[in-house]
């Protein structure tokens, strides 16, 4: 795609920096189901856009084969970062993005709080299963297939609030093992 070597290096670096930020975002917001069909790549610039956020806020941990890895870092991608490797611009870009997001943590958490009152459909189904398995088969959630509302005192609120707390803990730099334990409880 590149006309010369300088152009190739520019596209390659743009791709690495974009993928670094996307990797961080998928970790922070628990976005799963990341495969090649869920990325749009502008080959002339190296820019990436993610699509399909059906499995967000850690809901992919409830899949038959749970997704517990923070983001995809394949051998092919690692080879692309040579000769420096992932400890070069990939790491630097990720740390810069993390610092920027951490500085806006309260704003991000406030935006995420919207999902507590207007949850994603996956949250509703997962919380129904969790509550049913914890001896509460009478879960009351009203809504259609496209929209749900949860009453203020509904037991699901705790589950939804916990998902936002996970994002906040990730932004605070909490140990990933503790975060995984929080997701599984």
pLDDT of residue 130: 60
DSSP sequence for 61-92: GGSSS----SS---HHHHHHTTTT-TTTHHHH
Cα(167)–Cα(183) distance, integer angstroms: 10
Dump pLDDT digits (tens) for 112-144.
Answer: 888 777 666 666 666 666 656 655 444 444 444
- 121, 85 contact by CB (below 8 A): no
- Banded pLDDT at 170 (limits 50, 70, 90): very high
Dump pLDDT digits (tens) for 33-81.
Answer: 777 788 888 888 888 888 887 778 877 777 788 787 788 888 988 998 9
- Banded pLDDT at 146 (limits 50, 70, 90): very low
Average pLDDT score over residue span 90-113: 93
* Token representation of residue 150: 């949860």
Examine the pLDDT at 145 and tell me if it is beyond 50: no
Q: What percent of the chain has pLDDT over 90?
A: 26
Query: Any residues with CB less than 8 A from the CB of 128 and at least 6 apart, and which?
Result: 139, 141, 156
* CA–CA distances in Å: residue 42 to residues 20, 125, 184: 16, 35, 37
Average pLDDT score over residue span 12-32: 91
- 40, 75 contact by CB (below 8 A): no
142: left (phi over 0), alpha (psi -120 to 50) or beta: beta
Burial class (CB in 10 A: 0-12, 13-18, 19+), 137: exposed
pLDDT of residue 95: 95
- Banded pLDDT at 150 (limits 50, 70, 90): low
- 58, 183 contact by CB (below 8 A): yes
pLDDT of residue 91: 94
- Banded pLDDT at 107 (limits 50, 70, 90): very high
């Amino acid at each position: 795609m590149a006309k010369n070597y300088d152009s190739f290096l520019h596209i390659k670096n743009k791709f690495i920096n974009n993928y670094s930020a996307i990797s961080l975002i998928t970790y922070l917001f628990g976005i799963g189901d990341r495969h090649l069909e869920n990325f749009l790549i502008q080959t002339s610039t190296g820019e990436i856009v993610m699509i399909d956020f059906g499995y967000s806020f850690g809901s992919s941990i409830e899949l038959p084969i749970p997704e517990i890895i923070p983001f995809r870092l394949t051998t092919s991608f690692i080879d692309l970062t040579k000769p420096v490797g992932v400890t070069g611009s990939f790491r630097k870009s990720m740390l810069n993005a993390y610092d920027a997001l951490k500085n806006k943590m309260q704003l991000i958490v406030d935006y995420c709080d919207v999902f507590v009152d207007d949850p994603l459909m996956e949250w509703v189904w997962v919380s129904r299963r969790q509550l049913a398995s914890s001896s509460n088969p009478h879960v009351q959630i009203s809504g259609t297939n496209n929209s749900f509302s949860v009453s203020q005192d509904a037991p699901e609120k705790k589950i939804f609030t916990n998902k936002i707390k996970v994002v906040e803990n990730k932004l605070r730099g909490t140990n990933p093992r503790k975060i995984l334990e929080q997701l599984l409880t």
